[in-house]
Structure 1
Amino acid sequence: MISSSLADLVPRLAAARVLCVGDVMLDRFVHGSVERISPEAPIPVLRVRESRMMLGGAGNVVRNVVALGGACTFLSVTGSDPAGAEVARLLAEEPRVTPGLVQLASRRTSVKTRYLAGGQQLLRADEETVAPLDAADALRLIDKARQHLEPGTGLVLSDYGKGVLSEDVTRALIALGREKGCPVIVDPKGRDFSRYRGATVLTPNRKELAEATGLPTDTDTEVAAACNAVIGVCGVDAVLATRSQDGMTLVTAGGGVVHLPAEAREVFDVSGAGDTVIATLVGALSVGAPLEDACRLANLAAGIVVGRVGTATVPGADLMAAIHHQDLSASEARVVETDEAAERVARWRRQGLRIGFTNGCFDLLHPGHVSLLRQARATCDRLIVGLNSDASVRRLKGPTRPVQSEMARATVLASLAGVDLVVIFTEDTPLALIERLMPDILVKGADYTEDQVVGGAVVKAAGGRVVLARLEDGHSTTATLARVHGSPTGGKTP
Structure 2
Amino acid sequence: MLKFLNKTLAQFLIQEKFPKVKVAVIGDLMLDRYVWGRVSRISPEAPVPIIQVERKTSCLGGAGNVACNLAALGCQVHLVGVVGADFEASILAEEMQLANLSTDWLVVDSTRPTTVKTRIIGKSQQVVRLDEESTELVNEDIEQRLLDCSLALLDNVDVVILSDYNKGVLTDNFLKIFLHKSKLKQIPVLVDPKRKDYTMYIGATAITPNRSESELSLNRTLVSDQDFEIAAREFQRKYAFEAVLITRSEQGITLLHNANVHHLPSQSREVFDVSGAGDCVIATLAAALSAGLSWAEATELANLSAGVTIQKVGTTPVRVEELLQVLEQEGIGSANSKVLELPELMRHIAIWRAEGKMVAFTNGCFDLLHVGHVTYLDKAKDMADILIVGLNTDLSVKRLKGSERPITPELDRARVLASLSSVDAVVLFNEDTPIELIRAIKPNLLIKGADYQGKEVVGSEFVHSYQGRVELIPFVEDRSTTSIVQKLRRMSSHTI
Asked if these proteins are the same fold (TM beyond 0.5), I'd say: yes
> What amino acid is aligned across from residue 22 of structure 1 in structure 2?
G
- SS of 2:126's partner is strand
| Residue 183 of structure 1: aligned partner | 188
1:263 correspondence with 2:272: no
| Residue 313 of structure 2: aligned partner | 309
Asked if structure 1 preserves the Cα contact closer than 8 Å seen for 2:336 and 2:415, the reply is no
- SS of 1:74's partner is strand
Where do residues 213-362 of structure 1 align in structure 2 (5 Å cutoff)? Answer: 213-252=218-257, 254-327=258-331, 356=369
Where do residues 374-385 of structure 1 align in structure 2 (5 Å cutoff)? Answer: 381=413
| Residue 83 of structure 2: aligned partner | 78
Shifted more, 313-322 versus 189-198: the winner is 313-322
Shifted more, 279-288 versus 45-54: the winner is 279-288
Asked if structure 2 preserves the Cα contact closer than 8 Å seen for 1:331 and 1:415, the reply is no
Asked if structure 2 preserves the Cα contact closer than 8 Å seen for 1:22 and 1:164, the reply is yes
> What amino acid is aligned across from residue 63 of structure 2 in structure 1?
A
> What amino acid is aligned across from residue 5 of structure 2 in structure 1?
I
Asked if structure 2 preserves the Cα contact closer than 8 Å seen for 1:203 and 1:242, the reply is yes
When the two chains are superposed, the root-mean-square deviation of aligned CA atoms in Å is 3.8
Q: 1:135 aligns with which of 140, 156, 168?
A: 140
Asked if structure 1 preserves the Cα contact closer than 8 Å seen for 2:5 and 2:332, the reply is no
1:60 correspondence with 2:62: no
1:146 correspondence with 2:151: yes
Asked if structure 2 preserves the Cα contact closer than 8 Å seen for 1:33 and 1:46, the reply is yes
Asked if structure 1 preserves the Cα contact closer than 8 Å seen for 2:388 and 2:424, the reply is no
1:2 correspondence with 2:5: yes
Q: 1:232 and 1:305 mapped to 2: Cα distance? A: 32
Q: 1:281 and 1:93 mapped to 2: Cα distance? A: 24
> What amino acid is aligned across from residue 245 of structure 2 in structure 1?
L
| Cα distance change on mapping 1:367 and 1:131 into 2, 3 Å | same
Deviations 1:64-101, CA, capped at 9 Å, x for gaps: 11111111111111111211111111112222535411
Identity %: 34
> What amino acid is aligned across from residue 278 of structure 1 in structure 2?
I
How far apart are 1:114 and its partner, in Å?
1.1
Q: 2:29 and 2:101 mapped to 1: Cα distance? A: 18
Asked if structure 1 preserves the Cα contact closer than 8 Å seen for 2:35 and 2:120, the reply is yes
Q: 1:68 and 1:132 mapped to 2: Cα distance? A: 33
Asked if structure 2 preserves the Cα contact closer than 8 Å seen for 1:5 and 1:293, the reply is no
Asked if structure 2 preserves the Cα contact closer than 8 Å seen for 1:151 and 1:182, the reply is no
Asked if structure 2 preserves the Cα contact closer than 8 Å seen for 1:376 and 1:383, the reply is no
How far apart are 1:258 and its partner, in Å?
2.0
Q: 1:156 and 1:463 mapped to 2: Cα distance? A: 62
Q: 1:114 and 1:243 mapped to 2: Cα distance? A: 23
| Cα distance change on mapping 1:463 and 1:7 into 2, 3 Å | farther
> What amino acid is aligned across from residue 313 of structure 1 in structure 2?
P
> What amino acid is aligned across from residue 202 of structure 1 in structure 2?
I
Deviations 1:405-427, CA, capped at 9 Å, x for gaps: xxxxxxx97897579xxxxxxxx
| Residue 158 of structure 1: aligned partner | 163
Asked if structure 1 preserves the Cα contact closer than 8 Å seen for 2:24 and 2:157, the reply is no
Q: 2:135 and 2:123 mapped to 1: Cα distance? A: 32
| Cα distance change on mapping 1:87 and 1:354 into 2, 3 Å | same
Aligned length: 392
| Residue 341 of structure 1: aligned partner | none
Asked if structure 2 preserves the Cα contact closer than 8 Å seen for 1:28 and 1:111, the reply is yes
Q: 2:150 and 2:423 mapped to 1: Cα distance? A: 47
| Cα distance change on mapping 1:463 and 1:183 into 2, 3 Å | farther
Where do residues 387-398 of structure 1 align in structure 2 (5 Å cutoff)? Answer: none
Question: Normalization by structure 1: what TM-score?
Answer: 0.70
Deviations 1:376-419, CA, capped at 9 Å, x for gaps: 9979705669xxxxxxxxxxxxxxxxxxxxxxxxxx97897579
Q: 1:2 and 1:464 mapped to 2: Cα distance? A: 45
Asked if structure 2 preserves the Cα contact closer than 8 Å seen for 1:215 and 1:226, the reply is no
| Cα distance change on mapping 1:181 and 1:374 into 2, 3 Å | closer
How far apart are 1:116 and its partner, in Å?
1.3
| Cα distance change on mapping 1:180 and 1:63 into 2, 3 Å | same
Asked if structure 1 preserves the Cα contact closer than 8 Å seen for 2:65 and 2:279, the reply is yes
How far apart are 1:151 and its partner, in Å?
5.4
Asked if structure 1 preserves the Cα contact closer than 8 Å seen for 2:165 and 2:195, the reply is no
How far apart are 1:107 and its partner, in Å?
0.8
1:111 correspondence with 2:116: yes
Deviations 1:431-459, CA, capped at 9 Å, x for gaps: xxxxxxxxxxxxxxx998769x9xxx999
Q: 2:162 and 2:194 mapped to 1: Cα distance? A: 11
How far apart are 1:293 and its partner, in Å?
2.3
| Cα distance change on mapping 1:114 and 1:463 into 2, 3 Å | farther
